[in-house]
Structures are given as C-alpha cells and as structure tokens.
A and B are shown apart, each in its own frame.
Chain A
C-alpha cells in the first residue's frame, strides 16, 4: 500500500490528485476548526459581498459566509461518497459472487435486475424516487447505492465466472472446500484491485450527482450547506453576483479532478494491463 502511494506521488498527475483529495479530506474533517463563521448564521446586513479579507469567497443573499459554507459542504459530499460507495461495493460484491457461483436461473435473474436498474438514466431514477419519497440526503444516498451496485456486481460476476472454471477450483472442490472458502480465498483477492480502481473513479461521479441533485433542490434540505445548494443560490442570483457560482463550483471541480487523477494513477500502478494505450 505504501509502495503504491510512493509510486503515485512520483507521477505529477498522481501527486496533484492525491494532494487535492487530501486537501478536501482535511478541510472537510476540520471544517469546524477552519471555518471563520457559522455556515447557517444569517447576517442580512452583509449580503451579496464580493470576496474580501473578512469573507474569503464573499457572502450569499442571506449574508452567510460562502467560504464556511463551502467547507461544511465538503462534509456532505464526503459523507455521501463514502457511505454510498461503501455500501454499493459490499452489496455489489455479494450479488456478483452469487450470480457467478450460483445456479444459472439466479444468475439470469440478478443480471436482469442489474440491466433494469441501468436502463434508467441515473438522474431520472433519482428524480422519480425523490418525487415519491421527498428530498433528503438519505434518499440521495439510497438512490446512489442502488444505481451503483451493478457497476461492481458485473465486474465481480465476470471475474467469478472466469475463476470458477479453473482447474485449481475443481481440485479444491474435490477436496471438499466450501463455497465460502473458495469465494473468500480465491475470488475476492482477485477482484479487489479492479474494484478499488472502479470505486475511486466512481467517487467524483457520486459527488457530482449529489451536487446536481442538491442543485435541483432534490438533495439536502436548506439551510444545510452543500456545494449543489450553493450553486442553486448562485443560479438564482446570476444577474446580481457571480461569486456564489464560483464558490460552489471551485471545490466541486477540484475534487472531481483530484479523484479522477488519483484513480487513473492508481489504475496505472495497480493494474498496468488496463493502461493499454490510454
């Protein structure tokens, strides 16, 4: 692990990616210490200020400090990304293994389930769900989990199928090894590499999706700060001030870039075969 980190930092893009990701993690975790103001405290008298020494990114229409809101918004993004990717990974691995190792009918059933989920454009699925259940961060997380499961499930299934037909698996089975042992000892370690790469590439997508839904007013409820809701405020004020849009988009763009660069560099280090000509 440390070896991989060292190799990543030797590449300029990997280093940039890792720095951006670390910067985000630190600023989100320490938001309470760094933020100069309360992110939801109103100060109407200070409304719509341009960036200054007092307010590094300016203030919004209610006089709230945008820099503090951006820092706390990082916590929301981080929470959504980690919880949803973690859960989707767990369920995806389980379903993928069941599909790959189980009977044919179960495999077909699980694959049809995956295909059905993937047949909804993610945002439409999310909007339909939010329309029914009502907007909340939990709904967003649940939607992301459901729509990301097939990404991991498919990879695990393919890998399980290809390992299943190997001679050594047949030999183990003949010696009486349990299915759990075969999946845990042979299949899981083989899929971990590709899954980690996939997960790190999915994080920026998930963060962007959360921001997008909050931008539409379908994510976090006000006054909780989220990068998407800051952008939504900025959209409403676009003819008065550009600062909320700039404040909300900078962290979003930096973090998606950071995770993508890190993911690409991780892919090159863990699995050079995947690199091909890219």
Chain B
C-alpha cells in the first residue's frame, strides 16, 4: 500500500509539473508579447520592457519554468501585476469561497440524490423508479450555467426570495448562507441525478450479493439489511465519483460564480483572463489543477485501500 501511495503521489506531482510546463509553453508560443497586449497599443517600448521584466517574461523559457518551480517550493506564486499583491495571497483569499460552494453543492446533492437512488433501487421498475430515472438524466444533462441563470431569474429577480449577487456579509453566517443557496442548487442539481443513478445501480448490485441474502436468511429486519448492510456498501462508489468529478465541479463553480457575481477561484480566473493578468492566471489555474489532481489521487487511494486488486495495476 505504501508503494502504491508513493507511486500515485509521484504521478500526481508529475502531472502538475507537466501541466505547468504546458501552460508556460502555451504563453510562450502564442504570437504577440503578453506585456504589450496587457498595456495596450499606446505603451512605450520602455514600459513594455519593464512590464515584461515584472511578469518574468524577459528570460528564456527554461529559466522561467525553473524559476517558477523554485519559487513555488517557497510558496511564492509570483506577483499580481495589476494590484501588486502576491498572487498566492489573492488566490488563497478566494479559494475558501469556492471550496464552501462545492462542499454545500455536493452535500445538497447527496442529501437528495442518495435517498432517491436508494428508493428507486428498492422499488425497481415501478412508475416512480422510471420517473426518477428520466428526471436523473434530465438533471445531469442541463448545463450548470443554465440552471444558475434560471434560479437567478426565478428566485432572485422575479420572486426576490434570495439575494442575487455576492457572497454575503463577512462574519454574518445567516447572510452568507442565504447567498449560498442558489449557487449550491445550480451546481448540485446535476449531481442529484448523477448520484441517484449511481446509488441505484450499485444498490441493485449489492442487494444481489451473498452476504445480503445471508443477512435476510438470518431473519434480520429489512430496514437493517437495507440501511446498515447494503446502503453502506452502495454509497462507496460515490466517494470516488465525487473525487474524479472535481473537474466538473470546478467548471460548474466558475460559471455559477460569474452568474451570481460571487468571489471564488473560478471568478478570479475569469477576471484575470479578461484583464490579461498572466501571473494570476498561472497561479489560479495551477491551484485548481492541484485541487483536481489531489482529489482524483485521494479517490484513487481510497479505492485502492478498499480494493487490493487495483494496487497491483499501477
């Protein structure tokens, strides 16, 4: 297990490093000087040269990459060229908003999706099961930003039940919770469908297994068989699916943060791209990639811990 863990972590690190290198190469390969683009057509050559130096773009590509990794080891992600603050400070001040948003979206989805899937599996092929199946697919396919737009239109603009923009007052829990409801629903809706389908499928599989039959043969009440034995096993795949689904969650968070004008890593990436603030683009894309790699690695490790066969395949 330790060997698998080391291998998996090494692979994760390699992927992050490759991703950063790729991003650097892309910045370098693109025609036009990023500093010139940032400053606009009327900038003097001296100004462009000094901005280039501040963005670290005046050095050869390999040196830029090595420097970036060197600084990274010291926790330095570079300087934000527009606000003159360290990029790490900007990124980490936005990260908690996104993490809270994702966490509440997933909790909301699990709270509805898991019981729904469980109910469907126990009442297989009934009308409710069929309706749940179709609704799940419908939930999965509707893009998060469309759900976000509709929830903004209906619940914030028309009905005025929830606030439309921002993340709420700092330190005021009630205000923050109110601001979290619509964005969390917008991201969570597709996950309700996803989790319901997944739990239904794995529940049906588990219910057919020997230990469940044995538990029934022992005369245990159905409630205990279903909730204590079957469901416990059936929700395990959801952990890995959420881990692998981190990329989708981050993408959905980006759209939702923009629609609801919420602070967060997605909005930061979008804003830094529209202002061509490359150091912030690099830093925030790096952090979201790390988040993604960490969550997939974690879900792989949990999987390997549960299923020894996977360990030998790497």
Contacts and interface: CB of A to CB of B under 8 A. Distances in A.
Interface of A: 13, 112, 115-116, 118-124, 127-133, 204, 208, 211-212, 215-216, 231, 234-235, 238-239, 242, 245, 249, 252-253, 256-257, 260-261, 264, 276-278
Contacts of B27: 132
Contacts of B250: 121, 123-124
Contact of B137 (A234, A238, A260): A260
B254 interface: yes
Interface in B1-50: 11, 14-16, 18-19, 22-23, 26-27, 30
B289 A216 contact: no
Contacts of B270: 127, 216
B26 A129 contact: yes
A131 B281 CA distance: 9
A112 B149 contact: no
Interface string B252-282: 0011001100000000011001001000010
B82 interface: no
Nearest to B30: A132
16 contacts: A116-B18, A119-B15, A120-B19, A121-B247, A121-B251, A122-B251, A124-B254, A128-B269, A131-B276, A211-B143, A212-B255, A238-B157, A245-B149, A252-B146, A276-B201, A278-B197
Given A119-B293, A212-B145, A257-B138, A245 B150 contact: yes
A245 B153 contact: yes
Given A131-B281, A245-B150, A116 B248 contact: no
Nearest to A126: B251
B248 A121 contact: yes
B112 to A, nearest CB: 19
Contacts of B292: 119-121
Given A124-B251, A231-B146, A116 B200 contact: no
B246 to A, nearest CB: 8
* Secondary structure dominating the interface of A: helix
A264 to B, nearest CB: 7
B205 interface: yes
Contacts of A264: 137
A221 to B, nearest CB: 15
A128 B34 CA distance: 13
A112 B259 CA distance: 35
A108 B102 CA distance: 33
Question: Interface residues of B toward A: which range?
Answer: 35 or more
Closest 7 CB pairs of A and B: A123-B251, A121-B247, A131-B273, A277-B204, A208-B143, A256-B141, A121-B250
A119 B16 contact: yes
A254 to B, nearest CB: 10
Contacts of B247: 118, 120-122
Interface of B: 11, 14-16, 18-19, 22-23, 26-27, 30, 134, 137-138, 140-143, 145-146, 149-150, 152-153, 157-158, 197, 200-201, 204-205, 246-248, 250-251, 254-255, 258-259, 269-270, 273, 276, 281, 285, 288-289, 292-293, 296
Contacts of B276: 131
B259 A128 contact: no
A249 B15 contact: no
B26 A132 contact: yes
Contacts of B22: 116
A128 B30 contact: no
Contacts of A252: 143, 146
A159 B11 CA distance: 24
Contacts of B158: 242
A235 B259 contact: yes
A242 B15 CA distance: 44
A235 B149 contact: yes
Contact of A128 (B134, B146, B273): B273
B137 A261 contact: yes
Contacts of B255: 123, 212, 215-216
Contacts of A118: 247
Given A116-B15, A238-B152, A278-B197, A204 B141 contact: yes
Nearest to A264: B137
A73 B99 CA distance: 35
A112 B19 CA distance: 11
A148 to B, nearest CB: 13
Nearest to B21: A116
Nearest to A130: B273
A115 B14 CA distance: 10
Nearest to A16: B134
A208 B140 CA distance: 12
Nearest to B140: A260
Most central of B150, B251, B259 by chain A CB within 10 Å: B251
Contacts of A238: 149, 152-153, 157
